Structure 1
Amino acid sequence: MLHLLIFLLLALGDFSAAKDVVYNFNVTWVTANPDGLAERKVVGINGQWPLPIIEVDKGDQLIVNMYNGLGDKSTSIHFHGMFQNGTNDMDGASMVTQCPIPPGSSFTYNFTVNQHGTYWYHCHTDYCYPDGYRQALIVHDKDAYFAHQYDEELSVTLSDWYHDMMEDIKPKFMSLYNPTGAEPIPNAFLFNDTTNLSLSVKPNTTYLLRLINTGAFVSQYFYIEDHTFKIVEIDGVYTEPTEADTLYISVAQRYAVLLTTKNTTDKNYPIVTVADSTLLDTIPSDLRLNSTSWLEYDGSAPHPQADITVAESSDLVPIDDSTLVPYDHMPLLENPVLSIQLDVVMGMLDTGKGYAFLNDISYTAPKVPTLYTALSAGNQTTDATVYGEFTHPMVLGHHDVVEIIMNNNDSGAHPFHLHGHNFQVLTRFPSYGADFFELKGGDPVPYDPSNHSAFPAYPPRRDTLVLPPQGHFVIRFVADNPGVWIFHCHIDWHLAQGLGMLFIEAPTQLQEQMTIPADHLAACSAGGIQSKGNAAGNTEDYTNLKGQNVQPGWIPDGFTARGIVSMVFTVLSAVLGMGSIVLYGLSDLKFSSTGSTDGQDVSDEYRD
């Protein structure tokens, strides 16, 4: 009885400590020039950019009231890494768990934060977060095992940066003129949304340093000259303290480290970030891949540039995140109920544009948000058919152990992110090191279940993991969170090309626990999007997918990618040539000696 009373008192104490944390966001365009090289429009909040850092304590209720004041763009907010257990409708992925929020509409995100650690928030609607709509989300935890081992906190975001707006880059990227799907090259790399920044520190002090890559494309190496640190968290999962001096942080990944400063103030030390050049198809002469900020002990002392001696970024050897051990020692998940093998391929379809595929499917958004299909499909909610062919849906049973085997047939790395979960990392090939970013000599190396490294007893867990070029990884998670969750490459260009799929998890239980808020449905109505029906918008027959959104067709047998591009441009040239002939002929009519007024009319109509 005494134990029960103590438990109730402790639970009541935790409850009373929790609070509502409310943010009111008016999302509008503002101007900024973070690298000092080009002023441009960016997405601001309440007239400001950089955006506000969201800070809560574990157990708090986070409420974000958002008004879309952009005027010309729909938007949303995804709280990256938040499980949203019981609040799948707050996940923020447009056409997955909600409708895009059209200009002039308001929308409230409201959920309990039952997690701890380092996260971020960003738009999850059609290329919008590289326009500046991203920032840190920090969940403080007074009960963290290292809570009494540090004196102060610092948060750092790393990101790539484009001088052009996404609306201008997008048509050039998904274009006949870019059939290989070469990603747009950033113009700069930012450190806390600026460059040449000094982080002021005190001597002999331990800091909890939170590091977040909020970029759209490029991974970055991170180190501080003449300093080491201890990793204590990856992607919201506490780890056994692990000494390191260099990190590789892909887009969407996060680390928290304990950094103890030196017992002196005689100099300042470069904080070095180096962009992963292996991801770039070309490197413009004016693009600086390495950037220097400073751990500033004395503001009046010199701020030296970093002494970077490596020839290539891949010569840096970071700690291998697959070797980290979670502090809670959660054991290896055994006996998966479902094993899903996914092969990554980048290729071309008959439009002549570059696309991305998981098992020959390029993710194509449905006409109805998939969560709303799951809620309106009645007893057909467990039938994957209703979610459409090109959302690549997989229905998961409640509490099933799910295994994902990913084979990369592409020569580029892909950081894959799973919404609603973190996952155990069982194996990855190759490991971080000289061959990680470029397997020499040839063919992709798929996972072989009869020949792999031993699975760890306590696998590391995170929500974003890098799939090596031509390599593979194996991950597992428990389907204990009813909802619709997208699994996708977090390079924004690759998601736009279709490198994603949907998990519809325990949809029967989902129907029992969820009702969509009125303002969410109002956003659908304002945007002219249905909130019921299958992937094709059919509310009468959920298995009838006539009219669903589809990926472009395959290139016919016998055609090569080069051949289809050549054919497209040949036809285009022919059309332009015929147009020139027609224009020349009509001009003759205009200036004929007969003075025909009919000829004049035809010529004017053509010009208009």
Structure 2
Amino acid sequence: MRLLRAIFVWCNLFGVFELSFGAKERNYEFDVEYIYKKPDCLEHVVMGINGQFPGPTIRAEVGDTLVINVTNKLSTEGTVIHWHGIRQRGTPWADGTAAISQCAINPGETFQYKFEVDKSGTYFYHGHYGMQRAAGLYGSLIVDLPKSQREPFHYDGEFNLLLSDLWHTSSHEQEVGLSSAPMRWIGEPQTLLINGRGQFNCSLAAKFVNTTLPQCNFKGDEECAPEILQVKPKKTYRIRIASTTSLASLNLAISNANQLHGNGSEIHPWHLHGHDFWVLGYGEGKFKPLDAKSFNLTRAPLRNTVVVFPYGWTALRFKADNPGVWAFHCHIEPHLHMGMGVIFAEGVHKIRKVPTEALTCGATAKMLLNDTLH
């Protein structure tokens, strides 16, 4: 009996529980709060999780169940977290979209997200309430194949790169500007970040490219110093890249002078919750029925986010096989904030076993629900 108790305590400390068929339950405690950080060598107030910016990396295997208890330690605003790219099959209430799949988590309250990760890949999570993604509420989520399966390619090591953008004005100030009359646009970000690190008013590549910025000089221990990826000759490395930028559209180039390029906001990246979809084609101007003849119906790429170019159209197809209420919206944060999105209510009558906490909003609603049940 003591042995079993010791094993249970050990598992509980590490937040991992064995389920059937080798799958595990992985438990996390997330405290969302504002913190001071120097991501681009200047001090800013950013949103962090457990004192970290970006938030902790979640790593799991296909078939695992993630249990994330999110506690809102913000004093004056609600919050939610969306698990970008996770299809939430059977758990639409865990999608993390405020006023769509759940109520915002009130200050001081905790909401439990519990869902299965059923597909390997490089994902991320981010705030989906107001402009909280622009404030820094994001992190990486990586789903590996089970240890019994191998990737179709060999590599000796891997690196995880999370791209983001940073403004020197607060997300609250940005929200006020977007809601004002006349509207005040947020402008381009001041800094681009890789894994929460970037440079402002200097360039790491000043010696190699034509720029008026001075060369950046770091001792290496600064909070904003670039992360160095150590590699060995004749080895193969996998680079996982996810972009949680709120506005900037980026191209990542690896060359003799490694640098981050194409900062622009002319395109609209549309993201569909709860599904992957096939991208059938693109075109210029307004879509016409004859354009359907050019659709790729045999080898269309599978995505959950797709770009719509200026003055153009994009055609996609998905199977409505996941009951829930799903957001479909432009993933540029200020565009969504101003209403650039729609909702698909998909087979809602087929949803079963909704957790009680997902049916209510805040402590008052829970008390009313308890009165109704009793």
* TM-score normalised by L of structure 1: 0.51
2:355 alignment partner, SS class: coil
CA deviation after TM superposition for structure 1 residue 168, in Å: 1.4
CA deviation after TM superposition for structure 1 residue 197, in Å: 3.0
> Which AA in structure 1 matches 2:346?
E
1:450 alignment partner, SS class: helix
1:78 alignment partner, SS class: strand
Find the aligned partners of 1:56 and 1:155 in 2 and give their Cα distance: 14
> Which AA in structure 2 matches 1:116?
S
Q: Please tell me whether residue 89 in structure 1 is matched to residue 119 in structure 2.
A: no
2:28 alignment partner, SS class: strand
Please name the residue that 2:205 is paired with.
Answer: none
Find the aligned partners of 1:496 and 1:172 in 2 and give their Cα distance: 11
> Aligned match of 2:21 in 16, 30, 40?
16
Tell me if the contact between 2:281 and 2:315 (Cα under 8 Å) persists in the aligned partners: yes
Find the aligned partners of 1:487 and 1:470 in 2 and give their Cα distance: 20
Please name the residue that 2:322 is paired with.
Answer: 481
CA deviation after TM superposition for structure 1 residue 206, in Å: 1.3
Q: 1:530 to 1:486 in 2, by over 3 A?
A: farther
2:282 alignment partner, SS class: strand
CA deviation after TM superposition for structure 1 residue 177, in Å: 3.4
> Which AA in structure 1 matches 2:278?
Q
Please name the residue that 2:203 is paired with.
Answer: none
Q: 1:528 to 1:130 in 2, by over 3 A?
A: farther
CA deviation after TM superposition for structure 1 residue 144, in Å: 6.3
Find the aligned partners of 2:247 and 2:366 in 1 and give their Cα distance: 30
Please name the residue that 1:211 is paired with.
Answer: 241
2:134 alignment partner, SS class: helix
> Aligned match of 1:450 in 283, 290, 303?
290
* TM-score normalised by L of structure 2: 0.81
1:199 alignment partner, SS class: coil
Please name the residue that 2:119 is paired with.
Answer: 115
Please name the residue that 1:271 is paired with.
Answer: 258
CA deviation after TM superposition for structure 1 residue 126, in Å: 1.1
Please name the residue that 2:363 is paired with.
Answer: 526
Q: 1:145 to 1:531 in 2, by over 3 A?
A: farther
> Aligned match of 1:415 in 250, 265, 269?
269
Q: Please tell me whether residue 189 in structure 1 is matched to residue 192 in structure 2.
A: yes
Please name the residue that 2:32 is paired with.
Answer: 27
Please name the residue that 1:158 is paired with.
Answer: 163
Please name the residue that 2:14 is paired with.
Answer: none
Find the aligned partners of 2:299 and 2:94 in 1 and give their Cα distance: 31
1:526-605 paired onto structure 2 within 5 Å: 526=363
Find the aligned partners of 2:263 and 2:228 in 1 and give their Cα distance: 23
CA deviation after TM superposition for structure 1 residue 187, in Å: 1.0
After superposition, the C-alpha distances for 1:306-352 in whole angstroms (9 at most, x for unaligned) are xxxxxxxxxxxxxxxxxxxxxxxxxxxxxxxxxxxxxxxxxxxxxxx
Tell me if the contact between 2:145 and 2:151 (Cα under 8 Å) persists in the aligned partners: no
CA deviation after TM superposition for structure 1 residue 525, in Å: 3.0
Q: 1:132 to 1:471 in 2, by over 3 A?
A: same
Q: 1:454 to 1:100 in 2, by over 3 A?
A: closer
1:285-324 paired onto structure 2 within 5 Å: none
Q: 1:419 to 1:103 in 2, by over 3 A?
A: same
Q: Please tell me whether residue 504 in structure 1 is matched to residue 313 in structure 2.
A: no
Q: 1:449 to 1:163 in 2, by over 3 A?
A: same
**Which stretch shows the higher mean deviation, 113-122 or 138-147?**
138-147
CA deviation after TM superposition for structure 1 residue 202, in Å: 1.6
Highest CA radius of gyration, 1 or 2? 1
Find the aligned partners of 1:144 and 1:515 in 2 and give their Cα distance: 33
After superposition, the C-alpha distances for 1:57-86 in whole angstroms (9 at most, x for unaligned) are 111110101111111221011100111010
Tell me if the contact between 1:86 and 1:514 (Cα under 8 Å) persists in the aligned partners: no
CA deviation after TM superposition for structure 1 residue 24, in Å: 0.7
> Which AA in structure 1 matches 2:273?
H
1:46-195 paired onto structure 2 within 5 Å: 46-142=50-146, 146-147=151-152, 149-178=154-183, 182-195=185-198
2:115 alignment partner, SS class: strand
Find the aligned partners of 2:128 and 2:164 in 1 and give their Cα distance: 17
1:212 alignment partner, SS class: strand
CA deviation after TM superposition for structure 1 residue 46, in Å: 1.6
Find the aligned partners of 1:65 and 1:188 in 2 and give their Cα distance: 31
After superposition, the C-alpha distances for 1:173-214 in whole angstroms (9 at most, x for unaligned) are 322233xx6443211111111023321112211112110111
Tell me if the contact between 2:327 and 2:342 (Cα under 8 Å) persists in the aligned partners: yes
Tell me if the contact between 2:91 and 2:115 (Cα under 8 Å) persists in the aligned partners: yes
Please name the residue that 1:438 is paired with.
Answer: none
Please name the residue that 1:285 is paired with.
Answer: none
Find the aligned partners of 1:219 and 1:204 in 2 and give their Cα distance: 32
CA deviation after TM superposition for structure 1 residue 148, in Å: 5.1
> Aligned match of 2:48 in 44, 48, 58?
44
Please name the residue that 1:514 is paired with.
Answer: 353
Find the aligned partners of 1:125 and 1:114 in 2 and give their Cα distance: 25
Find the aligned partners of 1:57 and 1:471 in 2 and give their Cα distance: 38
User: Mind listing any 5+ residue stretches in structure 2 that lack a counterpart?
Assistant: 1-17, 199-225, 370-374
CA deviation after TM superposition for structure 1 residue 275, in Å: 3.6
> Which AA in structure 1 matches 2:119?
Q
Aligned residues: 323
CA deviation after TM superposition for structure 1 residue 48, in Å: 2.4
Find the aligned partners of 2:365 and 2:135 in 1 and give their Cα distance: 25
% of aligned pairs identical?
35
Tell me if the contact between 1:102 and 1:527 (Cα under 8 Å) persists in the aligned partners: no
